[in-house]
Structure 1
Amino acid sequence: MTLTGKQARYLRTLAHPLQPVMQIGKGGMTDQVLDQIGLALEARELIKISVLSNSPLSVQEAAQAVQEGTKAEIVQTIGRIMIVYRRSQDHRTIVLPR
């Protein structure tokens, strides 16, 4: 699923007040981190993830790993924060514009 510009703009608006729910640190991207991100996405659909300065990955590398590992869409990266969206199978709370 690829987000349209209108959908990405809407998700950025929804994500603005959110705090990061995950941090990627010196351990980098592990299977456990990807599992936790997947669980958070299933519960919330839209999350922010912070990449700490001591992480061996850049924000873009971490975003690519999250996208591939969780089948999610990266809405935006700003500084060391990424906004990630994946439609939930059970709790569809976000209705995207067409």
Structure 2
Amino acid sequence: MKLAILVHKGPDEAVVSSVIGVAKTARAKGHDVNIFAMAPGVMNLARDDFTSLIDDGVNITVCEHNRSQYMAPGNVEGVKYGSQYDLAIYAHDCDRFISFT
């Protein structure tokens, strides 16, 4: 199964722990997981527990426009800096879509 997750909440929001838990559980079950972060969600690049999902095989893409607006960390290894087009592709190609907004 392909799972896409939209993260619109910043690092201080409790729901981000749920994002991390869902992503880890899905990967442990062998599912493909793509996370797209936008708006305040790009600030999660400052959370080690969020970016460490990459080591578990989770693909993380952030909206570069929002990243520059929020001055979120850049050049995080393994993170793709993209656009809303990437989100559209994830939404089109996934079997399940979860939005944390």
TM-score range, shorter chain: 0.3 to 0.5
Using structure 2 for the length normalisation, give the TM-score. Answer: 0.40
Determine which structure has the larger strand proportion and give its number: 2
Q: Report which of the two structures shows the higher radius of gyration computed on alpha carbons.
A: 1
> Which structure has more RCO (C-alpha within 8 Å, separation ≥ 6)?
2
